[in-house]
Amino acid sequence: MKYETLNGTRIPKIGFGTWKIGGGSYADSSQDERSLAGLRSALELGYTHFDTAEVYASGHAEELLGQAIAESGIPREELFITSKVDPANLRYSDVLDACEKSLRRLGMDYLDLYLIHWPSHSISLGETFRALNQLIREGRIRHVGVSNFDVRLLEQARAESESPIFTDQVSYSLADRSYVRNGVLSYCQKNNILLTAYSPIEKGRLRGSTTLRSIADAHGATSYQTALAWLISQPRVIAIPMSLNPKHQAENLAAAEIELTEDEIERLNGLA
């Protein structure tokens, strides 16, 4: 596995996303066994960074993740757990309450990383970070970050945070370069902020690309693995793919071992 080290913390280049664990926007208990099986296999394969959010399955994703981790017997300190606060809960007291509820659902005493899931148009970042700064001071969260923020909002967040912004989690893949075009990637790289790519495979939209296929074949890899390898070849970029299929989970982890040449990276850059 490849890692990024930031502010004394090491985090894997490839983690595990939990959107659709336990349901979609609402909890669906009929999916529990399938979701738990997927989480268990991910833990057994060696995933250590898990990304979740209070809105995923209305908090049920956090519950299932906490259950799978407790069953695994893996020491808490060996894992890196991220969760996110919903934009409806960005007022000072709501942030504190939302964090406590996430911790309760996860069965944990602290989060390694807590993100603002989406920016709010009605609640000031100053009010939100007053709560996040307090949670850092109390040790309830170790690092703070944001998601779906543009450069202007990132700059505001940095000004309001008492600790370094750890990441901006955004959609980024071979097929989606919107946060490259708007300057977020270069801003993060210049300011020592991780860019966490969600939807990093983009449901295989570029699977039919002959360029992608030929590069994948040269490495004995799949197109999906090669797309992930391209992402994490970039400094300060990590990715959180999600799959409930143990075979695909193992392939995603193995993508970290693919060493693309400079020429291959340039050819993949040109697919935008």
Is the Cβ–Cβ distance between 238 and 232 less than 8 Å? yes
Is the Cβ–Cβ distance between 19 and 244 less than 8 Å? no
| 219 burial level (CB within 10 Å; 0-12, 13-18, 19+) | middle
Q: Output the pLDDT for position 171.
A: 97
Q: Output the pLDDT for position 202.
A: 75
Does the pLDDT of residue 239 top 70, yes or no?
yes
Q: Output the pLDDT for position 99.
A: 98
Summarize the confidence of residues 219-229 as an average pLDDT: 96
Helix (H) or strand (E) holding 12: strand 9-12
Summarize the confidence of residues 224-246 as an average pLDDT: 97
Distance CA 184, CA 148 (A): 10
Report percent pLDDT > 70 for the chain: 98
Length of the chain: 272
Tell me the one-letter amino acid at 145: G
Q: Output the pLDDT for position 272.
A: 74
Distance CA 42, CA 62 (A): 15
Largest CA distance in the chain: 54
Distance CA 99, CA 247 (A): 33
Catalytic residues: 56
Q: Output the pLDDT for position 58.
A: 98
Backbone angles phi, psi at 126, to 5 degrees: -60, -45
For the chain, give every domain's residue range: 3-269
Q: Output the pLDDT for position 206.
A: 66
Distance CA 232, CA 220 (A): 18
Does the pLDDT of residue 5 top 80, yes or no?
yes
Distance CA 224, CA 258 (A): 12
20 three-state secondary structure: coil
Report percent pLDDT > 90 for the chain: 96
Q: Which CATH class is domain 3-269?
A: alpha beta
Please list the helix, strand and coil fractions of the chain in percent, rounded to the nearest 5, in that order. Answer: 50, 20, 35
Does the pLDDT of residue 245 top 90, yes or no?
yes
Per-residue pLDDT reduced to its tens digit, 161-204: 999 999 999 999 999 999 999 999 999 999 999 999 999 987 65
């979740």: which residue's tokens? 52
Per-residue pLDDT reduced to its tens digit, 56-70: 999 999 999 999 999
HSE, CB side, 13 Å, CA atoms: give it for residue 54.
Answer: 24
Is the Cβ–Cβ distance between 240 and 198 less than 8 Å? yes
Kindly report the average pLDDT of the chain as a whole number.
96
């209305």: which residue's tokens? 58
> What tokens appear for 162 in the block?
């008492």
Summarize the confidence of residues 110-114 as an average pLDDT: 98
Q: Output the pLDDT for position 207.
A: 64
Is the Cβ–Cβ distance between 180 and 150 less than 8 Å? no
